[in-house]
A = this chain, B = another copy of it.
Amino acid sequence: MGRTSDAKNKILDAAATLIEQRGYTALGVAEICAAAGVPKGSFYYFFESKQALARTVIDEHWVTQRRQWEQLLGSERNPLQRLRDLFEATEEVQRVGQQKAGVVAGCLFGNLALELSNQAEEIRGRLQQIFEEQISLIEQVVVEAKERGLAGPAVDAREAARSIVAQIEGRVLLAKLLNDPAQLETLWRNCLDLLQVPAQARTTTG
C-alpha cells in the first residue's frame, strides 16, 4: 500500500515537472514513467490515460495554490496589501522556478489553457472552474477594498478581479517569453490603476 501510493506520487511529481517544462502534447507515458522511475505497466494501474493524469496534476496544483491564495488574500492586512502580497508571491514562485530550472516556467493553468482548451473539453472545463475560483478569491478582496474606500466606487468588483487575473496571466506570459520574472513587478501598480485606487490610498499603501 505504501509502495503503491509512492509510485503514484512519483508519477505525479514527474508529470508535473515535465508538463511545466515542455507542455502536455510533447510528453509520452513512457517518458513520464522513466522520469518517475516506475515501470510503465504501473501507470495504467493509477491513471486511465495521459489526460486523466493531467487532470490530476491540475487538481493537485490548484489545491496547493488555492491554499496559498486563501492564506494571502484572507489575512488580517489591508485589502490592497493582501493583493500586493499575492503579486509578490506569484513573482517569487517564478523566480524560484527560474533558479531551479534555469527558465521561467510560467503558469501551469495558463500554459494548459492555451495548449489544450480547443482539444480536451474536460481539461478546458476544469481550468474554467479554477480561473473562476481565482477571480472569486480576488473579487472578495476588491469588495472589501471598495467598502473601505480603497478602490474607486465605479469599479465593478467581479470585472476588476477578472481584469487582474488577466493581467497576471499576460504578465506571466511576458515573464516566460523573456525569461524574466521582473515582468511581474508592475502587477501592483497595474492593480492600483485597474481598481481606480484614490491618490491618498496609493501613498499610504504603496
Contact = CB atoms under 8 A, between A and B. Distances in A.
A193 to B, nearest CB: 5
Contact of A194 (B124, B165, B193): B193
A110 interface: yes
Contact of A193 (B110, B177, B196): B196
A173 B166 contact: yes
A12 interface: no
Interface in A101-128: 103-106, 110-111, 113-115, 117-119, 124, 127-128
A173 B22 contact: no
Contact of A171 (B22, B114, B166): B166
What DSSP secondary structure best describes chain A's contact surface? helix
Nearest to A127: B177
B177 A190 contact: no
A159 interface: yes
A26 interface: yes
Interface of A: 21-23, 25-26, 103-106, 110-111, 113-115, 117-119, 124, 127-128, 131, 159, 162-163, 165-171, 173-174, 176-179, 183, 186, 189-190, 193-194, 196
